[in-house]
């Protein structure tokens, strides 16, 4: 994703630079148009979040927020702050649980060759295929019996099930690429396996750490299925439920709903910026093996 | 997302039986056992976690689907065993047919369009023009947005009276469509939104697949006078087949379980017109005042079964490619 290869892939042999440059410019124009089309819903979300209530059902709708209002965002500040805080807490908790479980396991699967490692890997792959709604129903019964329903840390446990198998797979793929000499050198210096993992392998695996953290945060932040089934009536409810109840309760104030949606999208935007540096390498290492 | 398979070194055919070899092996075997223990200690937390938070919920779900639960016995946990009753009840339910059909239509139509669009975009972005990397990154946004955000945005865009989509149709002289409230259009609407969400994933994976096709092939083809379309048909598409297979199968597994999007946009309605196995399962278990946990869990388990078929197919394809 970082270093573009020299432009040798163009169809016809380039005789003069002119047509190539022109074609590149044309491609850029097409690309910008396609991107604009693709991102129109995102733009529309922003536009509606700034539209005054009385203009909401106007025909034709205002394509540009010429008379922006911030009443939607004011509503977010008044109503949604606790939900945002809960989501932050649940997101960070999920990241912690995921990293603590996935990083050592990935290290073991990649470097220590535990017996039954193949079966475990297969199990993780299958675990990713279980529909969230099925997990939610199973969790509901368990949480009901244990009295964990409507608790924020019960939701952390449930949300972590989305991220842990993915995390182990990313760590395994990444750590398998770390040369053995590195850990061997640490071992010769007298470090035990834990030390080798903690002070040699983990620091080198920064890309994988960032990738797994970002995705597990994003998934926990975005989770709706578990939140709605396991935390529907809790004191601390996440932002996805905040939006959902907004839609249910005041069907009319779409600028407030869309303003909440914009705020709830901020972590995704942050991820996108960071993605350029870390995630691409991590995900493609896990997704498509060369 | 695949897994790096741990390749175990083949154990050398040890000449066992001779005493000297055994004695020489003894310390190294002890060391191997110790390193084996260390290896297990590193995965032990994960295994315990999987047992408690994957296997047990799934077991509970299976148990739910095999017993006759009421709200009272759900809490008390003493529901009578009822065998396959829940399953036969679900299979004979008038909703089953539409839900299964909708699940299949939703999944396959979504996948087809996502893949086609993702592939076209991947080839396009592979041309290395100015801003290509930035624009490609922007294309990821729909994938990263929380589903509830995308779903509620699309709901408002597809609103019958004030939606911008109907306004655009109006500009082109098409009469307005009741996207979310008409039984003819509800499924189409959620499919459109789902395609939008799924394109980036296909783009990312297929693009990284394109990176692995050597540029010399295109140069040689260009020298031989192959047109752009011929290059795509003869080089890109065949060489991308392994990556395509993985993308499609992963897409299948992921799309089968889509729940949030449909639930937020239409709740499976109107009627059953956009309900899939996932939304129906939720509807049975949580959607009403009188929850039917047993049938809900049964539908969920049928869904798992379908997902597993494609999942195992995925694993097979994957293994064959690695071999």
Say what the pLDDT of residue B208 is.
84
Question: Who wins on pLDDT, B127 or A93?
Answer: A93
Which of B252, B143, B148 lies closest to B204, judged by CA? Answer: B143
Q: How many residues in total does chain B contain? A: 323
Q: Which residue of A has its CA nearest to B284?
A: A137
Higher pLDDT, B52 or B322: B52
* A168 in contact with chain B, both atoms CB, cutoff 8 A: yes
Q: Lowest mean pLDDT: which of A49-58, A154-163, B71-80, B242-251?
A: B71-80
B294: chain A residues, CB-CB within 8 Å? none
A256 touches chain B (CB under 8 A): no
Distance CA B305, CA B100 (A): 13
Instruction: Determine which of A1, A6, A12, A31 to mutate to test the interface with B (most B C-beta atoms within 10 Å).
Output: A31
Please report the residues numbered 228 through 287 in chain B whose beta carbons come closer than 8 angstroms to any beta carbon of chain A.
Answer: 228, 231, 243, 246, 253, 256-257, 259-260, 264, 278, 281-282, 285-286
Of A1, A139, A287, the CB nearest to B57: A139
Q: What is the pLDDT of residue B22?
A: 47
Q: So what's the pLDDT on residue B4?
A: 37
CB A232, CB A175: distance < 8 Å: no
Q: Residue B189 has what pLDDT?
A: 94
Would you give the end-to-end CA distance of chain B in angstroms?
17
Mean pLDDT in residue range B229-242: 88
Question: Is B205 an 8 Å CB contact of chain A?
Answer: yes
Residue A31, Cα to own-chain centre: how many angstroms? 25
What pLDDT score does B204 carry? 86
Check residue A119 and give left, alpha or beta (phi > 0: left; psi -120 to 50: alpha): alpha
- A97: which residues sit within 8 A by CB, 6+ positions away? A156, A157, A160, A164
Between residues B141 and B1, the one the model is more confident about: B141
Whole-number pLDDT of residue A4:
39
Q: Do A258 and A49 touch, CB atoms closer than 8 A? A: yes
CB–CB of B8 and A145 under 8 A? no
Confidence tier at B21 by pLDDT (50, 70, 90): very low
Overall average pLDDT of the B180-196 stretch: 92
Does A272 sit within 8 Å of B140, measured CB to CB?
Answer: yes
pLDDT, residue A2, reads 38
Q: Which residues contact B37 (CB under 8 A, 6 or more apart)?
A: none
How high is the pLDDT of residue A179? 86
Q: How far apart are CA A155 and CA A44, in angstroms?
A: 32
A contact residues 44-73, partner B, Cβ 8 Å cutoff: 44-45, 48, 56-61
pLDDT at A279: 57
Distance from CA of A105 to the nearest CA of B (A): 4
> Pick from A27, A57, A240: which is nearest to B129 by CB?
A27
Per-residue pLDDT, B249? 83
- Whether the predicted pLDDT of B8 surpasses 50: no
Question: How many other C-beta atoms are found inside a 10 Å radius of the C-beta of residue B274?
Answer: 28
CA distance B109 to chain A (A): 19
pLDDT of residue A100: 95
pLDDT of residue A19: 63
Element housing A91 (H / E): helix A81-107
Task: For B215-228, give the DSSP string.
Answer: HHHHHHHHHTT--H
Q: Do A45 and B149 touch (CB under 8 A)?
A: yes
Inter-chain touch B152–A114, beta carbons under 8 Å: no
Q: Which ipTM score applies to this complex?
A: 0.81
- Candidates B2, B7, B33, B43: best to mutate against A (most CBs of A within 10 A) is B43
Asked whether residue B180 carries a pLDDT value surpassing 70, the answer given is yes
A243 vs B: CB within 8 A: yes
**How close A203 comes to chain B (CA, Å)?**
17
Contact residues on chain B for A170, CB-CB shorter than 8 A: 1
> Can you tell me the mean pLDDT for B59-78?
80
- Residue B18 pLDDT grade (very low, low, confident, very high; cuts 50, 70, 90): very low
- Length of chain A measured in residues: 290
Q: What is the pLDDT of residue A30?
A: 92
Q: Rounded distance, CA A102 to CA A98, Å?
A: 6
The reply to whether residue B127 touches residue A42, judged by beta carbons under 8 angstroms, is no
Mean pLDDT of B22-30: 61
Residue by residue, pLDDT tens for chain A (290 residues) are: 333 333 334 444 444 456 677 788 889 999 999 999 999 999 999 998 898 888 777 777 778 888 888 888 888 888 888 888 899 999 999 999 999 999 999 999 988 888 888 889 888 888 888 888 889 988 988 888 888 888 888 899 999 998 999 899 889 888 888 888 888 888 888 778 888 888 888 888 888 888 889 889 988 999 999 998 887 777 788 888 888 888 877 667 888 888 989 988 988 787 767 766 665 555 554 444 33
Task: Round to whole Å and give the CA distance between B165 and A165.
Answer: 39
Within an 8 Å CB–CB cutoff, is residue B40 touching chain A?
A: yes
Judge whether residue B241 has pLDDT over 90. Answer: no
A196 vs A190: CA distance, rounded Å: 9
pLDDT for B26: 61
Helical packing angle, A117-127 and A152-176, nearest 10°: 130
CA distances from A229 to A132, A237, B18 (A): 11, 11, 64
pLDDT of B105 reads: 95
3-state secondary structure of B67: strand
Residue B173 clears pLDDT 60, i.e. is over it: yes
CATH class for domain B95-213+239-292+313-322?
Answer: mainly alpha
Answer whether B20 touches A (CB < 8 Å). Answer: no
């Amino acid at each position: 994703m970082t270093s573009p290869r020299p432009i040798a892939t163009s169809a016809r042999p380039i005789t003069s630079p002119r047509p190539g440059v022109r074609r590149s410019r044309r491609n850029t124009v097409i690309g910008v148009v396609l991107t604009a089309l693709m991102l129109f819903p995102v733009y529309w979300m922003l536009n509606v979040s700034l539209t005054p209530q009385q203009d909401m059902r106007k025909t034709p709708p205002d394509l540009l927020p010429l008379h922006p209002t911030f009443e939607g965002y004011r509503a977010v500040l008044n109503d949604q702050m606790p939900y945002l805080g809960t989501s932050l807490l649940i997101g960070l908790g999920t990241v912690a649980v995921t990293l603590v479980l996935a990083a050592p396991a990935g290290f073991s699967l990649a470097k220590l060759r535990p017996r039954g490692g193949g079966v475990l890997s297969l199990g993780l792959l299958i675990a990713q295929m279980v529909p969230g709604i099925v997990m939610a129903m199973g969790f509901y019964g368990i949480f009901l019996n244990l009295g964990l329903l409507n608790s924020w840390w019960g939701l952390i446990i449930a949300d972590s099930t989305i991220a842990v198998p993915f995390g182990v797979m990313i760590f395994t793929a990444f750590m398998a690429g770390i040369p053995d000499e590195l850990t061997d050198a640490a071992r010769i210096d007298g470090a035990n396996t834990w030390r080798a993992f903690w002070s040699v392998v983990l620091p080198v695996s920064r890309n994988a750490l960032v990738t797994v953290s970002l995705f597990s945060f994003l998934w926990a932040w975005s989770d709706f299925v578990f939140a709605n089934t396991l935390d529907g009536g809790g004191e601390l409810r996440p932002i996805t439920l905040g939006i959902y109840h907004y839609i249910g309760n005041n069907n009319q104030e779409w600028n407030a709903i869309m303003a909440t949606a914009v705020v709830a999208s901020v972590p995704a935007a942050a991820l996108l910026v960071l993605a350029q540096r870390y995630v691409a390498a991590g995900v493609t290492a896990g997704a498509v093996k060369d | 997302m695949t897994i790096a398979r741990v390749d175990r070194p083949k154990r050398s055919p040890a000449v066992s039986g001779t005493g000297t070899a055994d004695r020489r092996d003894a310390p190294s075997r002890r060391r191997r056992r110790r390193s084996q223990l260390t290896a297990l200690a590193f995965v032990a937390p994960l295994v315990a976690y999987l047992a408690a938070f994957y296997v047990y919920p799934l077991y509970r779900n299976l148990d739910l689907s095999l017993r006759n639960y009421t709200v009272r016995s759900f809490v008390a946990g003493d529901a009578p065993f009822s065998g396959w009753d829940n399953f036969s009840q679900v299979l004979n339910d008038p909703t089953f047919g539409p839900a299964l059909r909708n699940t299949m239509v939703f999944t396959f139509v979504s996948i087809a369009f996502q893949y086609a669009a993702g592939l076209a975009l991947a080839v396009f972005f592979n041309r290395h023009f100015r801003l290509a990397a930035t624009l490609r990154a922007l294309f990821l946004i729909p994938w990263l947005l929380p589903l509830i955000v995308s779903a509620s945005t699309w709901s408002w865009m597809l609103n019958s009276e004030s939606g911008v989509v109907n306004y655009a149709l109006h500009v082109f002289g098409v009469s307005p469509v009741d996207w979310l409230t008409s039984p003819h259009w509800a499924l189409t609407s959620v499919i459109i939104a789902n395609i939008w969400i799924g394109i980036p994933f296909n783009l990312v994976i297929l693009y990284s697949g394109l990176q692995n096709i050597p540029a010399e092939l295109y140069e040689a083809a260009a020298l031989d006078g192959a047109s752009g379309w011929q290059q795509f048909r003869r080089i890109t598409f065949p060489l991308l087949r392994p990556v395509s297979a993985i993308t499609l199968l992963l897409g299948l597994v992921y799309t089968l379980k889509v729940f949030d999007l449909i639930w937020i946009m239409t709740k499976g309605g109107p009627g059953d017109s956009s309900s899939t196995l996932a939304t129906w399962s939720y509807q049975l278990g949580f959607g009403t005042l009188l929850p039917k946990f047993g049938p809900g869990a049964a539908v969920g388990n049928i869904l798992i079964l379908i997902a597993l078929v494609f999942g195992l197919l995925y694993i097979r394809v994957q293994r064959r490619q690695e071999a």
